[in-house]
Amino acid sequence: MSFPAPPAMMGYDRSTSMFSPDGRLFQVEYAMEAAKRGWTMVGVRTAEGVVIVAEKRKTSPLIDIGQLEKVYMVDEHIGAGFVGFGSDGRVLIDYARLLAVQYKFVYGEPIPVEYLTRQVCDLMQVYTQHGGVRPFGVTLMIAGVDEAGPKLYVAEPSGQYISYKAHGLGQGGSQAVEVLQKEYRDDMSLEEAILLGMKAVTTVMEGKPSTETLEVGVVEAKTRKFRKLSKEELQKFLEKLGA
């Protein structure tokens, strides 16, 4: 070999606990690739609450899509979704649920959304710094309402999280973000937020949007309760979108 190989070919990308000469962590960047291959997911935050809209795909005609969950309740006041490696995501959702239950048990009140997010991210960070493991191959979206109002966090495989007003993830993520940037307003009502989220997802999704291929989770600021929209509600919103 008569000239240096490109950095990614010299072994720096084959161990989690190693920096490349330019200070990058390849395994963490590769884990983000896993996340980018997920189905599209969008989150929208307004003063009235937070919304997560997720695309679902019927990969097989006999799949029981009604049982296929893309948006999860973490605690009464928090919902979450993820894109990427399915079982990794489930493990993190379960970890988040455990954290929420423990917090309520110890402090007698609901876990603050950011505190929960940080705890989950601390676990994710550990998997980027120690040998013998790989990073989690998912990007999480955590939506909730607490004393400090509605929150929308996006947590990456590196363990870093960022607070967004609205954001898109997965295969159609960047396109969805364009829709959001054009139409997001700080003073939107919760209904407008739901409609915007659904529009961003349906614009980029592969098949025809329907009550079966969309899942919407909402946490209202007033009630501080997470719930998923029913098929009927979804249908109404779809009609309003003219989809």
Residue 74: closest CA among 103, 36, 39: 103
Does residue 177 touch its own copies according to CB under 8 A? yes
Which one of 98, 101, 181, 189 is in contact with its own copies (CB under 8 A)?
181
Distances (CA, A) of 236 to 58, 129, 229: 22, 47, 10
100: left (phi over 0), alpha (psi -120 to 50) or beta: alpha
Segment 69-88, which members bind its own copies (CB under 8 A)?
Answer: 84-88
Residues sharing a CB contact under 8 Å with residue 119, sequence separation 6 or more, in sequence order: 96, 99
Residue closer to its own copies (CB basis): 95 or 241: 95
Q: What is the CA radius of gyration of the chain?
A: 19
Q: Write down the least CB distance from residue 206 to its own copies, Å.
A: 18
* HSE, side-chain direction, 13 A CA sphere, residue 200: 35
Q: Write down the least CB distance from residue 239 to its own copies, Å.
A: 26
Residue closer to its own copies (CB basis): 66 or 242: 66
Does residue 203 touch its own copies according to CB under 8 A? no
How far apart are the C-alpha atoms of 104 and 200, rounded to whole Å? 35
Which one of 53, 140, 152, 194 is in contact with its own copies (CB under 8 A)?
152
Q: Could you give the maximum distance between any two Cα atoms of the chain, in Å?
A: 66
Does residue 167 touch its own copies according to CB under 8 A? yes
How far apart are the C-alpha atoms of 143 and 159, rounded to whole Å? 17
Residue closer to its own copies (CB basis): 139 or 202: 139
According to DSSP, residue 144 is labeled: E
Does residue 12 touch its own copies according to CB under 8 A? yes
From the list 46-54, 71-79, 99-107, 180-188, the region that binds its own copies by CB under 8 A is: 180-188
Segment 13-42, which members bind its own copies (CB under 8 A)?
Answer: 13-27, 30-37
Does residue 8 touch its own copies according to CB under 8 A? yes
From the list 2-10, 99-107, 211-219, 233-241, the region that binds its own copies by CB under 8 A is: 2-10
Does residue 91 touch its own copies according to CB under 8 A? yes
**Number of residues this chain uses to bind its own copies (CB under 8 A):** 77
Which one of 49, 112, 159, 209 is in contact with its own copies (CB under 8 A)?
159
Residue closer to its own copies (CB basis): 80 or 152: 152
Residue 85: closest CA among 48, 138, 49, 45: 138
Does residue 160 touch its own copies according to CB under 8 A? yes
How far apart are the C-alpha atoms of 73 and 217, rounded to whole Å? 8
Residue the block writes with tokens 């909402």: 218
Does residue 239 touch its own copies according to CB under 8 A? no
